[in-house]
């Protein structure tokens, strides 16, 4: 159909629920296996022409479809990619929300729903992995034609899972139903049971998408063929035989060889001319495709490679636009300046450094780090160099002496400086792995710091003197004692239940050996300075460790829960003794 453009379909959902695998089934490829950790890291695009869709859907094809095909945007699934998915959602005319029918709604599914609601993007649910439903015999092709072949046990299991999904979606304000039971698609979200593994239900998924797009979206798909091209840069890379090129999605207008275009770059807006437009073969994912066809022009919507001069410093994740006048250029400069300023961070304060390969990745990591309430000193697109290490090394707090590097080169000089200044660099090509490693590292440092603080504290202790074991009455008094709660350390000061001070524990012996610390339940001999058994002490008293006020305040506010029940009880008894004389003690 010449008067409408190809609908753009965003594929969203939780990590590992099968987004890329469903697309692999449609395009008969293995992109998922080639990705880092099997997880999509950047937005990719695949154009599926109507003839291929007709072949896949031959069992259920309806001849009244008048669309040129579908352009799928495969968006990353982990929650760190909120903003990349937003960019995908914003570009999309319609979306597929992929849900593992056996796992149901997961955190990233919720996030995807939030994005779809924000952009008011119509969507369908691909309820994936029906092949794992007990009793279900999955096969390639139409779900509806396979359904009657299942036994009642399998059908009941499938319906149970679908209605669990319907109930969960209702909690988020969406009315859903299995697609073949829906009367009004404007009021009900369609659930299409599918198996990316066997290909079952893929024909219905494609037909529902085409039907919805043709019936409800034709108005927004009307082409403005003469309009200037606008698009999004996905990735910049060296291409054998043509030099530096960029993967891009053109979502509006027509781009021609020779057009002047503006792209946001690391050193400002780049203005260049299109030397060549390369289009992947039908049903090929442009991120991993090696064979492209040269075309003179391309009309939205399409995934393409653009060959042009001066692309080396173009920033992936930003928009590009064809220029007709100087005013177009000025407007573009103002817009991209504002966009990058809103994302990139540069401060003089305390915080970590973030370096990524694209604006989308940068935006994603910044949002994730901010959600963890971790300060950021600098966040920008580019490789990790010596200056980044020096900047982060000036942080006073060691838990902020870290650099997060996603999919970028770390220069040798930076590695050397990092060793010198004890700066930790977290690198990799899976964002959530980098963030998880960084978070765990910070937690370990904090725990080590807390352990040091706790070790330095004088902790609660409660002892019972053993009158039958008086070894010396004075200078110093040496007597047996049992630790009833907490601990007793050499140097601890002891008090009576009435609050009066007794003296300092000069030394402790157990089984003839000197010890520095005794724990609950232990019995040993202790030497107490400045006390005489028979005068200040009878020799059978219960005594408490005199915890200094500052230490008691720290314990009561943050460490009490880390003690066992007897130690907590002993500490509260000690606090009560102290507050009889001063109600505000240690408050």
For 168, other C-beta atoms within 10 Å of its C-beta total 16
Give the pair of three-digit tokens for residue 129. Answer: 């992995």
**Measured distance CA(568)–CA(548) in Å, rounded:** 16
Spatial contact of 351 and 369, defined as CB atoms under 8 Å apart: no
Torsion, CA 514, CA 518, CA 524, CA 530, rounded to 10: 80
pLDDT for res 285 = 54
Write the CA distances from 489 to 104, 257, 475, 509, integer angstroms: 55, 82, 19, 11
Preceding amide of 476 cis, omega within 30: yes
**Bridge partners, 69 (sequence order):** 49
> Which domains are delineated in the chain?
8-221 (3.40.50.300), 230-340 (2.40.30.10), 344-455 (3.40.50.10050), 461-581 (2.40.30.10)
Q: Is 376 exposed, middle or buried (0-12, 13-18, 19+ CB in 10 A)?
A: buried
**Measured distance CA(305)–CA(276) in Å, rounded:** 8
Q: How many CA atoms lie within 13 A of 552 on its CB side?
A: 21
| Whether residue 170 lies in the annotated active site | no
Spatial contact of 158 and 128, defined as CB atoms under 8 Å apart: no
**Bridge partners, 44 (sequence order):** 74
Assign 109 a pLDDT band (cuts: 50, 70, 90): confident
H or E segment and range at residue 388: helix 386-393
Is pLDDT larger for residue 148 or for residue 286?
148
pLDDT for res 44 = 65
Residue 43 has pLDDT above 70, yes or no: no
Per mean pLDDT, which range of 143-147, 448-452, 560-564 is the poorest?
448-452
The 10s digit of each residue's pLDDT in 515-550 is 999 999 999 999 999 999 999 999 999 999 999 999
Is pLDDT larger for residue 465 or for residue 448?
465
DSSP line for 242-285: TEEEEEEEEEESEEETT-EEEEEETTEEEEEEEEEEEEPPTT--
Assign 513 a pLDDT band (cuts: 50, 70, 90): very high
Radius of gyration over every alpha carbon of the chain, rounded to an integer in angstroms:
34
**Bridge partners, 452 (sequence order):** none
**Measured distance CA(323)–CA(273) in Å, rounded:** 10
Nearest to residue 13, comparing CAs of 101, 93, 136, 139? 101
pLDDT for res 267 = 80
Assign 335 a pLDDT band (cuts: 50, 70, 90): confident
Assign 551 a pLDDT band (cuts: 50, 70, 90): very high
H or E segment and range at residue 456: helix 431-456
For 370, other C-beta atoms within 10 Å of its C-beta total 13
Assign 79 a pLDDT band (cuts: 50, 70, 90): very low
Residue 276 has pLDDT above 80, yes or no: yes
Average pLDDT, the chain: 86
pLDDT for res 338 = 78
pLDDT for res 217 = 78
pLDDT for res 346 = 83
Spatial contact of 65 and 49, defined as CB atoms under 8 Å apart: no
For helices 359-371 and 82-91, give the axis angle rounded to 10 degrees. 130
Spatial contact of 301 and 273, defined as CB atoms under 8 Å apart: no
Nearest to residue 462, comparing CAs of 536, 535, 541? 541
| 283 φ/ψ sector (left φ>0, alpha ψ -120 to 50, else beta) | left
Per mean pLDDT, which range of 87-101, 246-260, 298-312 is the poorest?
87-101
For 174, other C-beta atoms within 10 Å of its C-beta total 17
Phi/psi for 228 (5° steps) reads -70, 145
For the chain, give percent helix, strand, coil, nearest 5: 35, 30, 35
| 105 φ/ψ sector (left φ>0, alpha ψ -120 to 50, else beta) | beta
pLDDT for res 367 = 80
**Measured distance CA(45)–CA(248) in Å, rounded:** 9
pLDDT for res 209 = 94
Residue 175 has pLDDT above 80, yes or no: yes
Residue 12 has pLDDT above 80, yes or no: yes
3 state SS of 309: coil
DSSP line for 526-587: EEETT--BTTTB-S--EEEE---HHHHHHIIIIIGGGS-HHHHHHHHHHHHHHHHH-TTTT-
> Which of 14, 17, 42, 78 is the catalytic position?
78
């Amino acid at each position: 159909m010449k008067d409408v453009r190809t609908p753009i379909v965003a594929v969203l959902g939780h990590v590992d629920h099968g987004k890329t695998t469903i697309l692999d089934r449609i395009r008969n490829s293995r992109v998922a296996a080639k990705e880092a950790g099997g997880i999509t890291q950047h937005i990719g695009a695949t154009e599926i022409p109507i003839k291929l869709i007709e072949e896949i859907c031959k069992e259920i094809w309806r001849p009244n479809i008048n669309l040129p095909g579908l352009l799928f945007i495969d968006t990353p699934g982990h929650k760190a990619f909120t903003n990349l998915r937003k960019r995908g959602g914003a570009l999309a005319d319609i979306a597929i929300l992929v849900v593992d029918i056996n796992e149901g709604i997961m955190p990233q599914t919720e996030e995807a729903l939030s994005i779809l609601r924000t952009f008011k993007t119509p969507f369908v649910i691909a309820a994936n992995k029906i092949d794992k439903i007990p009793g279900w015999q999955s096969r390639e092709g139409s779900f509806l034609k396979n359904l009657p072949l299942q036994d009642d046990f399998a059908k009941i299991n499938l319906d149970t899972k679908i209605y669990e999904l319907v109930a969960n979606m209702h909690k988020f304000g969406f009315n859903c139903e299995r697609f073949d039971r829906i009367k009004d698609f404007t009021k009900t979200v369609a659930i299409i049971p599918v198996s990316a593994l066997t290909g079952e239900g893929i024909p219905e998924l494609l037909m529902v998408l085409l039907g919805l797009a043709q019936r409800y979206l034709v108005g927004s798909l009307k082409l403005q063929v003469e309009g200037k091209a606008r698009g999004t840069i996905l990735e910049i890379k060296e291409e054998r035989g043509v030099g530096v090129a960029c993967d891009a999605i053109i979502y509006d207008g027509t781009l021609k060889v020779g057009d002047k275009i503006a792209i946001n770059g690391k050193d400002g807006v780049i203005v260049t001319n299109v030397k060549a437009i390369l289009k992947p073969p039908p049903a090929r994912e442009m991120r991993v495709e090696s064979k492209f066809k040269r075309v003179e022009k391309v009309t939205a919507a399409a995934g393409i490679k653009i060959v042009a001069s001066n692309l080396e410093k173009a920033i992936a994740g930003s928009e590009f636009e064809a220029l007709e006048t100087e005013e177009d250029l000025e407007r573009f400069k103002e817009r991209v300046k504002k966009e990058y300023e809103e994302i990139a961070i540069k401060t003089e304060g305390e915080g970590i450094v973030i370096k990524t390969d694209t604006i989308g990745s940068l935006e994603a990591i910044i949002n994730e780090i901010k959600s963890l309430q971790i300060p950021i000193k600098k966040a920008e697109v580019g490789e990790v160099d010596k200056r980044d290490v020096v900047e982060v090394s000036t942080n006073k707090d060691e838990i902020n002496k870290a650099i997060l590097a996603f999919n970028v080169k770390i220069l040798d000089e930076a590695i050397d400086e990092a060793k010198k200044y004890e700066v930790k660099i977290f690198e990799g090509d899976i964002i959530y792995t980098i963030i998880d490693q960084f978070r765990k590292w910070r937690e370990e440092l904090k725990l080590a710091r807390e352990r040091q603080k706790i070790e330095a504290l004088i902790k609660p202790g409660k002892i019972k003197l053993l009158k039958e074991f008086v070894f010396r009455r004075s200078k110093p008094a040496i007597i047996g004692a049992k630790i009833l709660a907490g601990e007793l350390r050499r140097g601890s000061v002891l008090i009576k239940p009435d609050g009066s001070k007794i003296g300092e524990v000069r030394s402790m012996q157990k089984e003839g050996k000197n010890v520095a610390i005794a724990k609950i339940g232990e019995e040993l001999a202790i030497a107490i300075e400045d006390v005489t058994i028979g005068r200040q002490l009878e020799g059978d008293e219960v005594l408490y460790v005199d915890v200094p006020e500052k230490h008691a305040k720290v314990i009561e506010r943050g460490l009490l829960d880390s003690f066992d029940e007897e130690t907590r009880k002993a500490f509260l008894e000690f606090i009560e003794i102290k507050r009889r004389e001063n109600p505000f003690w240690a408050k």
